[in-house]
Structure 1
């Protein structure tokens, strides 16, 4: 029979006595800052209700879900819905449309806010700068429905302004919204027009933190605006640019569902049918809830893999990463 040493008992008591004051100190700190926790509570509640609680329903991707039986009562089918999607004749078309549109939007839409912020930052006239900022920010506040309505009106083959201009130069009217080859370009560049100005705000905020003495020293040394931009401004916004790139790549497969659906027509569907619209079609319109959930989960897993991979690469190549 082993005997517990008195010194060990005293050591355990000492550790317990040390832990209890620490817990009390944490509680006191929380109590003193209760206003901050009250402000934080709505955000936490929002994410718990609308982001984490719905994960409970992901299990229907592995079941033959029937509303009459409920989530727990439905039969488990394993990976059947995933295999059905992978073997579907539409799989490669939908995946290609999603990837091409995502990469196209990233290649065009990601660098433009950076360039816009750099150019706005170099303006000397504050009045002109504020005017331009207002002009480029304004489209962000137009709803997606209104934006797509504007596209249909301006690009109408019979009465649209664009086709009238084409006709003035002797061209034939083009039914842009019914042409599969035009869908991706219209989607991307309308998004650029709407979102570039607002997306540039975060880079302008980073540029506002640059020490003015750096620019003054560069001017004294005879550096041009381009060289000051190249050697002062771009390094200053590089960390935030890397973070934004990681987030953009991690969200690569999440194309704007509402806009793609609103721009979709029977004639351009071969180019506009992406994963998000396909999930809506089969999951909601055709009431194939389990199959639609499986397709959406597949999309989310790809985004997660991309996010983790890009973050690891960024952490190895630079000092900036999400974690």
Structure 2
């Protein structure tokens, strides 16, 4: 237990998505080896009870992820799991309190710390702990505050050592070779050739042609002279069919609709490289409506437009305790993927949309 680990305790029916998202953030700061997350950390075939006890023995802090359904989850008989002695979440937190580890309740999606009379005897101390909130609308800010507390208990992973930059070699100009006669005198040679051609052209006689007179055709006189180089369009085409066809062709070319990609369906949202939910988009030409989900829970809905290759929101409504939200994305590959930004409560994050 040189540096200690961070033990993440959660109930899968309650905060599975948020716990996985928090794990990814903490691994970036403390390293994957310092995070215990039972789904990925335990190997197949190991004794779960013994593995949990060993992980707690190597840990310095336990994060108790508590969502809106943490107390309400029941088994097939209707008994609340938190009241059962063999409930793993209860065993993890009770064992951490017994070992006097730092236990931090993490309240997710508006959950509140349970009252003492709602908890079994071995968990009543949990209601006295100072909690840390995590909300979807200010996720990065809340995780940053939690990370500041954890940095006092667990050592951060070392920064990578930058590779030494090579010492630049001094520039040595190449030694120029002596120019040939042609390279030194080609302008004079070309000038002489051009002057000779001009002199020859002046010596060739120019054949003159008599000026021809334009003859206006009449009913008695057939067209035998020159054609008028600037005819009156009203005489050549009295119905104006040529002008009409020309205008009609330009109208068709100018009225061609702009290309609109197919962007309907389910799009996964990643903010700063971390998956944080998905949009379910219903497309109607340039207009669209959508619903916003955080780990299969609908938390918002709205509408928007596709204009000048940009997909952006014109209206967005979020549920209670989730705050304001908007987005704008642009595609450089015909709607296969999208890149842009999201804004939650005036906090901007780089984001992408992808179907997988």
TM-score, normalized by length of structure 2? 0.17
- Look at both structures and tell me which one has the larger radius of gyration over its CA atoms: 2
Which has a greater percent of helix? Answer: 1
* TM-score normalised to structure 1 length: 0.19
Q: Which has the higher strand share?
A: 2
Higher relative contact order (CA 8 A, sep 6+): 1
